[in-house]
Amino acid sequence: MSRGFHTGEFVREHARGLRARPWRALLIALCAALIGAAVPLVSLIETGGLRESWEQQRAAGRFVQVIRAGTIEGFPVTFCENIARTEGVIAAGAILHREQIQLATFPGQNRELLRVSPGMIAIAWPGLAIPGSGIVAGKDLATQTGLVPDTTVNLTRAGTSETRDIVSIAGERSRVDGLNTALLEPDVRADQYTRECYVEMQPGAAGAVIPTLTEAVPPTFKATPAPYLKKSALVMDPEKQLPQRASAWGWALGAGILFLLLGVLWWSGRAEMALYRAFGARPVQITLALAAEVIATVLVPVAIGASAVIAVAGFTGSIGTQEYLLAGADIARLLLALLPLPLLGAALAHAISPSAVFKGA
């Protein structure tokens, strides 16, 4: 190589040097691809886990409040029905009466028949159609007795017998205790009393709805609202947890590993760079050659590894838009953090003088 060579010639010469030692380029590319895959993978796993636990708790009643009466007789169910018309409330319901009955097909075994306001069925089984008349059977009771929809059963109580239509069977377990083994009959009469009113709110409206619940029932009934789920079991809103997620710093760790790896390799080959300088390579040419090396052995493998993880996650269809955006932001941060790598290499190349190389350094 002669003094005063062109930049393109020097870059090609550096590339030939890399091809002469393929293990070095392969090692860097493999580490870069693994880090490129690990950064979005860890992000998707953590954010997906946060949202999954949140959705599970939402389904279990995270946004359900229970207004409990402080008197034995309870309060009129009309107050509960009025809450159902509040903006931001999904449903409001109450259990009005409990009684023991027997099914004619299973004599000798007491079952519980609950008269409930229509909204109680929506509270217990979100998405289940509320019948205008007839009975809804809990999942466990239907399994035990073989009840099926659109059938008529004989109910025996206090020496009397009557027929009822089974219009629906709950396909899932109730999130309200005690309803899985019971029969529920909607009752729309306004003169009923209840000691508990269940209220489910939209997540975004909880802050506005909860304060109104304290005034929804007159003070004479000493009713107080409280979360249906125990506070000790509540998880934090993922929107508040996401900025604090551990994976938010995964890109920095990955970039640090690649900086360390390339720094060690470039430092071990600093004598070669010093020779380049001795034969007239300018700093800008060294920087451009290292930039080409970084693009080929680091940035491209990082992009390939990250794209593979995103593609697989998209194929499974189990990741939401927010998770993709966060993973994409982490990948972008990683790529941006790696852009100064050629400057690190150029600095290391100037850490030893050409004269020191000729002296055997």
148, 98: one domain: yes
196, 73: one domain: yes
- The verdict on residue 153 lying in a domain is yes
Long-range pairs of 318-323 with CB within 8 A, sequence gap ≥ 24:
318/48, 319/44, 319/48, 320/48, 320/51, 322/47, 322/51, 322/242, 323/43, 323/44, 323/47, 323/48, 323/51
337, 247: one domain: yes
The pLDDT value recorded for residue 233 is 56
- The verdict on residue 16 lying in a domain is yes
pTM above 0.85, yes or no: no
Q: Which pLDDT band, with edges at 50, 70 and 90, does 74 fall under?
A: very high
Query: Given 171, 196, 228, which residue is the final one in a domain?
Result: 228
- State which residues form the domain around 121: 64-228
150, 297: one domain: no
pLDDT digits (tens, 9 = 90+) for 127-179: 887 777 788 888 888 888 888 888 888 877 777 788 888 888 887 888 888 88
- The verdict on residue 179 lying in a domain is yes
Of the listed ranges 25-29, 84-88, 264-268, 338-342, the least confidently predicted one is 264-268
11, 150: one domain: no
- The verdict on residue 166 lying in a domain is yes
- The verdict on residue 1 lying in a domain is no
Closest CA to 88 of 116, 57, 59, 65: 65
Q: Which pLDDT band, with edges at 50, 70 and 90, does 1 fall under?
A: very low
173, 260: one domain: no
Quote the mean pLDDT of the chain.
Answer: 81
pLDDT digits (tens, 9 = 90+) for 23-68: 888 888 899 999 999 998 888 888 777 677 666 677 767 788 999 9
- CA-to-CA distance for 140 and 170, rounded, in angstroms? 9
- The verdict on residue 59 lying in a domain is no
Q: Which pLDDT band, with edges at 50, 70 and 90, does 2 fall under?
A: very low
- The verdict on residue 237 lying in a domain is no
- The verdict on residue 236 lying in a domain is no
44, 135: one domain: no
User: Could you tell me if 284 and 350 are in contact, meaning their C-beta atoms sit under 8 angstroms apart?
Assistant: no
191, 70: one domain: yes
142, 217: one domain: yes
Q: Helix crossing, 7-20 with 270-278: angle to 10°? A: 150
205, 125: one domain: yes
The pLDDT value recorded for residue 99 is 87
**Cα angle vertex 329, ends 328, 332, to 5°?**
85
